[in-house]
Amino acid sequence: MGPLRPWARLPLLAAAHLLALGMGAAMLQALEGPPALQLQAKLRAELAAFQADYGACLPPGALEELLAAALAAQLRGVSGWGNGSEAGNWDLPSALLFTASILTTTGYGYTAPLSAGGKAFCVVYAALGLPASLALLAALRHCLLPLLSRPGAWVAVQWQLAPASAALLQAAGLGLLVAGAFVLLPALVLWGLQGDCSLPGAIYFCFSSLSTIGLGDLLPGHGRGLHPALYRLGQLALLGYLLLGLLAMLLAVETFSELPQVRAVVKFFGSNGPLTAEDQSGIIGQEELALDTLPPSAAAPEQAPTC
């Protein structure tokens, strides 16, 4: 196989991604297909047994109608259980959690707007709120990244490391810190507080929230009859977790994306020509100009902005 032509790199990378998409799908099909079919078979057996036992006194279709109504209501986040004094899904803490899940693009979906007005409001709110959130995150990043580069600077001086190695070490450290403080620790807390949640399940939930994927299939404490005050506290904790977690994750991603090694990979796939010596010095030159992340050498600490 000859050298990889520059113009071929990006299509190959894209093709590799599509292949990975397909392989992931095949893997999940193998892992999830059987359990899903089993659950479906079990449910159908229960339905059939119910019909067999009590179908005689039920008019045809009455049960199906009731089930359909209950299922449709659940899709909208509405439950038929509980006493009448509940505030429903849209009490202020729950609504706050919903708007936070919109603005962090997590979008759990266990509650969703029913009315046309609510849907329209969500679209407008997100269309205005998402750019504003991005601007806020950019400003926070502008303020916080120099602070985050100080440990790397100190380590670089102590251990006489090259700037590139120091940056890599710092990015790795930040990544581990975010993973520990924003996935592992909350998962441990969740697992400890909630009896029916396994540690892997808690990690799954925290990861799903932090990455803003937000599948919404597991929601801690939801409708489990917790003490109302505890449930509210949990909702507020989740709210803070969504907001702070997004910030922490973006800072980590930004730190990694500004590493010279990562930039080299991106340039490798994104350019049409071979990386020349000029390009490489260009990368380093840009790195020196990215004053935000490189450990300041002679630049005194008084230049680092305080927030």
Q: Which two tokens stand for residue 56?
A: 């005689």
**Interface residue with its own copies, options 129, 151, 173, 296 (CB under 8 A):** 129
**Interface residue with its own copies, options 162, 289, 298, 300 (CB under 8 A):** 289
When asked if residue 288 is in the footprint of its own copies (CB under 8 A), the reply is no
**Interface residue with its own copies, options 73, 172, 176, 181 (CB under 8 A):** 73
When asked if residue 5 is in the footprint of its own copies (CB under 8 A), the reply is no
Task: Considering the complex, state which of residue 156 and residue 287 has its C-beta at the smaller distance from its own copies.
Answer: 287
Q: Tell which positions 219-278 bind its own copies, by CB under 8 A.
A: 253, 256-257, 262, 265-273
Q: Tell which positions 164-203 bind its own copies, by CB under 8 A.
A: 198, 200-201, 203
When asked if residue 283 is in the footprint of its own copies (CB under 8 A), the reply is no
**Interface residue with its own copies, options 147, 176, 213, 264 (CB under 8 A):** 213
Q: Given the rule CB under 8 A, which of 70-78, 160-168, 188-196, 230-238 is the region that contacts its own copies?
A: 70-78
**Interface residue with its own copies, options 127, 162, 277, 298 (CB under 8 A):** 127
